[in-house]
Amino acid sequence: MNSVLRKFDMKGRSALVTGGASGLGLAYAEALAEAGACVTLTGRDLKNVEREATRLRGQGWDVRPFKADVAQPEEVAAAFDAHITVFGGLDAAFANAGLDAGAGFWNPATHSRNPQGQIDTFDHATWRKSMSVNLDGVFFTVAEAARVMKSGGRPGSIIVTSSIASSKVFPPIATPYMAAKAAVTQLVKQVALELAEYRIRVNAIAPGMFVTNIGGGYLQNPAVREAWGKIVPLGKMAEPEQIKPLALFLASDASDFVTGTEMVIDGGVLLGNFG
């Protein structure tokens, strides 16, 4: 293996991924495990996490399940403690768990306003639930990753799943989701500067239109995929498989001089359309 490819090798390393039972989180875990890392998968539904961990172990990879709700700081701490107990250290952590907050103020299918998505009518409980996972959960995960990496005394990488919603307005997307992702982007920059002294890198991945189960799986609908794909300059929505190389880059030594960044992977959506 030449010196460049060796930078991507994760043998002898370990990683923890929140929201790892499906979608992008599962793609992250698969990429890390394939590169040789031992991985802890966490999620709120233990059955789903155990199913995927068992499947990956069947491929010869060391993947362990753990039940944790990222909105509960004590559960996040327990997940990291369990990871250290099993693997002895932590080299990469993905703060990935997130949830949809419903529809935004505009329905593009009907070209009309969505009554439930208006700022003056939006359900307060939905706002808090979205923030508890999409922002608080990221904070708790990053904080625990920093705790165990600092105590371990070796370089580490923390990767947060942000969104292109952090820098572009999307009227069909609910306002709490937009606000949380924008806050996450600034959190990454602040913490990256704080942890640089410890050689702990903190970066974000900002996905565009990926086919995942978020929002109840409506993106799996071929008609929805086609409609969303029309606003992507590269012509279609992405599959989780396509995010794996970027995830591995940020988790591995290949990005050992990269911190405080938000790497966009959106097929050109932020460029806009000219057609």
Q: Which residues are catalytic?
A: 177
Question: CA-to-CA distance for 91 and 73, rounded, in angstroms?
Answer: 21
Measured from the Cβ of residue 115, the count of other Cβ atoms closer than 10 Å reads: 10
β-strand pairing of 112-113 with 106-107: antiparallel
Q: How far is CA 90 from CA 146, 205, 207, 221, 241, in A?
A: 10, 20, 25, 38, 24
What are the residues facing 67 on neighbouring strands?
A: 43
For Cα atoms 216, 221, 222, give the angle at the middle one, nearest 5 degrees: 160
Q: Which amino acid is at 205?
A: I
Phi, psi of 251 (to 5 degrees): -80, -25
Backbone φ, ψ for residue 36 (5° rounding): 110, 0
Q: Which two tokens stand for residue 129?
A: 């639930």
Closest CA to 157 of 144, 141, 145, 139: 145
Q: Which two tokens stand for residue 74?
A: 């004590």
254 φ, ψ (degrees, to nearest 5): -60, -25
E strand or H helix at 222: helix 222-229
Q: Count CA within 13 A, CB hemisphere, residue 213.
A: 10
C-alpha 106/C-alpha 104 separation (Å) is: 6
**Element spanning 141, H or E:** helix 137-152
